[in-house]
Structure 1
Amino acid sequence: MPKIALGSRQEAAQLDCVRAVVAELICTFLFVFAGVGAAMAAEKMIGGAESIMGLTAVAVAHALVVAVMISAALHISGGHLNPAVTLGLAVGGYITIFRSILYWIAQIIGSTLACLLLKYLTGGLATPVHTLASGVGFVQGIIMEIVLTFSLLFTVYATMVDPKKLIPVGLGPMLVGFVVGANILAGGPFSGASMNPARSFGPALASWDWTDHWVYWVGPLVGGGLAGLIYEHFFTIKTHVPLPREEDAF
C-alpha cells in the first residue's frame, strides 16, 4: 500500500521545488488563458460554448493546450496544471503533501492571473464560469465531475505514471489532452466539464460569480483522489518506491 508522504517546510527552499512551483504557475496560466480565451471567443463569434460549434471549439482548444502545457512542464514539475491531478498523485505517494499545497497555490494564482488579464484584454468581457445546466442538480453535477475527473486521472496514471506503460515516452500528454477534450464534449452541456478546481476558480473570481462553484472543488477532488487510490492499489506493479515520510511536515 502506498504511503502518503507529508514532506517538510524545507522543500520550499529547494531549487527544484521552486522551479517546479513556478512552472506550475506559468503553465497553468497559459493553459487557462487559452482555454478560457477559447470559451470567450466562442461566445463572441459562433453562438457561444452551448452551441455544437462552440462546444467543439472549446474542447479542441483545451485538448491541444493541455497536451502542450503538460509536455512543457513534465520534466520540471510533472505538468499537473490541476489540483485534482496533484491530489491524485499525492495519494499515490508521487508528490509530498507539502509540495502539493504549493502546487495548488501556484495553480490557483496562475488561473486567476490569466482570467484577469483576459478580462482586461477583451475590454471587460465576462470570463465564462462553470455552472450546472438547467435541470442538473448538485448531486448529478458532482457525480458527473467525479466520473470525468476519474477518467482524466486514470489516463494520467495509465499513460504517464505506471512504470509498465506500453506507450512511447512523450505520447502520454497528448492522450491526456484527448481525454480532456472528449470529456468536455460529453459533460460540457451538463456540468461544464471542469475536471479542474483551478480552471473553475479563475473565471469565478474574475467575474465574481460563485454560482455552484463548490461543485467544482468537491467533484474533481473526489474523482482525482479515487482514481489515484484505485490505480495505485490495483493496477500499478510495484516498481515505484513512494516518497519517504517526514514526521516534521508542518
Structure 2
Amino acid sequence: MPQSDYFSTPLRNLAVGNANEFRNPGVVKAAVSEFFSTLIFVFAGSGSSIAYSKLTGGGPASPPGLILAALAYGFALFVAVSVSANVSGGHVNPAVTFGLAVGGNITFLRGVLYIIAQLLGSIVAAALLIVATGTSAIPVFGVSGISVWSAFVFEIVLTFGLVHTVYATAVDPKKGEIGIIAPLAIGLIVAANILAGGPFTGAALNPAVAFGPALVTWTWHHHWIYWAGPLIGGGLAGVVYEIFFISRSHEHERVSGDDY
C-alpha cells in the first residue's frame, strides 16, 4: 500500500475563500449562530463565577470554585455547540475555527467572519453580565503560580486536546455513530481541562472567552497567552489529525463550511 494511504498530506485542502462568502445568506446566518452560541457560553461560564463569589465570598480559584467553573463551562459549551452545530458547525471558539481552517474544513475568510462573531458574542456577554449583576468585577483570565512561558505551554497543550477531540468526534468522516455525542465530548474535555489548568492559567482554551471580559474591564495583563497558546494548539491539532488520522478512503466534500 502506498504511503499516502497511511498518512494524509498536511494542509492539502487549505482554501482562502472569496469575498462573495460575506454576502452569502447561509454564511451570514452561520456567523450569527456563532455570535449567539458564544454569548450563551461566556454568559453562563463567567456568570457562574460571579454567582459563586456572591454566594460564598470565595474566588473561582478555590477548589469548590474550580469545580463549579468546570461544570458550568462544560455544560454551557455542550449546549452552545449543540444549538449551533446544524447551522455553523458549533465552533464557539476562534482556536477551533482556526484548527478547522488549517485542515481545510472551512475557508479562511469564512473563519475570519466566524471569529469576529465569536469575539462580539463574548463582548456582549461580558457587558450584559455587568448590567445584569450590577458589578464590574467580571472574572478575567490570568497566570498564577507558574511562569508566563509555562502558562503559554499549558494553553497550547490544553487547546490541542480540545481541537483533537473536535476532529475525532465531529470532523473525521470515520466517526460513524460517535458523531452524535460530539457536543458532550467537547464539553467534557473542556471541563476536564479546566480542572487541570484552571489553577494556573484559568484554562481559557479560547481567545474569545478571554477577550470579552478583558475588553470590558480593560485588563490585558499577559492577554497574548490566551491568543497565541490556543491558536497554536488548535492549529497543531488540525495538522496532526489531518496527517495521521483522516483516511483517504473516507474523504468527503471539504470547505463547504455548512458543518464541521
TM-score, normalised by the number of residues in structure 1: 0.94
CA contact 1:42–1:58 (8 Å) conserved in 2: no
Measure how far apart 1:243 and its partner are: 3.2
Q: What does residue 235 of structure 1 align with?
A: 245
Distance 1:192 1:235 in 2: 30
Q: What does residue 116 of structure 1 align with?
A: 127
Measure how far apart 1:53 and its partner are: 0.7
Q: What does residue 155 of structure 1 align with?
A: 165
Identity of aligned residues (%): 48
Between Structure 1 and Structure 2, how many residues are aligned?
243
Measure how far apart 1:242 and its partner are: 3.4
* Paired AA for residue 91 in structure 1: V
Q: What does residue 96 of structure 1 align with?
A: 107
Q: Secondary structure at the match of 2:199?
A: coil
Q: Please, what is the CA RMSD of the aligned residues?
A: 1.2
Select which of 214, 221, 226 maps to 2:224. 214
Distance 1:203 1:160 in 2: 29
Q: What does residue 248 of structure 1 align with?
A: none
* Paired AA for residue 72 in structure 1: V
Q: Are 1:5 and 2:15 an aligned pair?
A: yes
Structure 1 residues 163 and 82: alpha-carbon distance in aligned structure 2, compared to 1, 3 A threshold: same
Measure how far apart 1:124 and its partner are: 2.3
Select which of 147, 166, 188 maps to 2:198. 188
1:56-75 aligned at under 5 Å gives the runs 56-75=67-86
Distance 2:93 2:64 in 1: 26
Select which of 214, 220, 226 maps to 2:236. 226
Measure how far apart 1:167 and its partner are: 4.0
Q: What does residue 54 of structure 1 align with?
A: 65
CA contact 2:34–2:114 (8 Å) conserved in 1: yes
Distance 1:225 1:192 in 2: 21
Q: What does residue 247 of structure 1 align with?
A: none
Higher helix share: 2
1:126-165 aligned at under 5 Å gives the runs 126-134=137-145, 136-165=146-175
* Paired AA for residue 220 in structure 2: W
CA contact 2:40–2:125 (8 Å) conserved in 1: yes
Distance 1:169 1:4 in 2: 24
Distance 1:195 1:30 in 2: 17
Structure 1 residues 65 and 220: alpha-carbon distance in aligned structure 2, compared to 1, 3 A threshold: same
Measure how far apart 1:223 and its partner are: 0.2
Measure how far apart 1:137 and its partner are: 1.2
Query: Structure 2 regions of 5+ residues with no counterpart?
Result: 1-8
Q: Secondary structure at the match of 1:170?
A: helix
Query: Structure 1 regions of 5+ residues with no counterpart?
Result: 245-250
Q: Secondary structure at the match of 1:188?
A: helix
Distance 2:134 2:255 in 1: 47
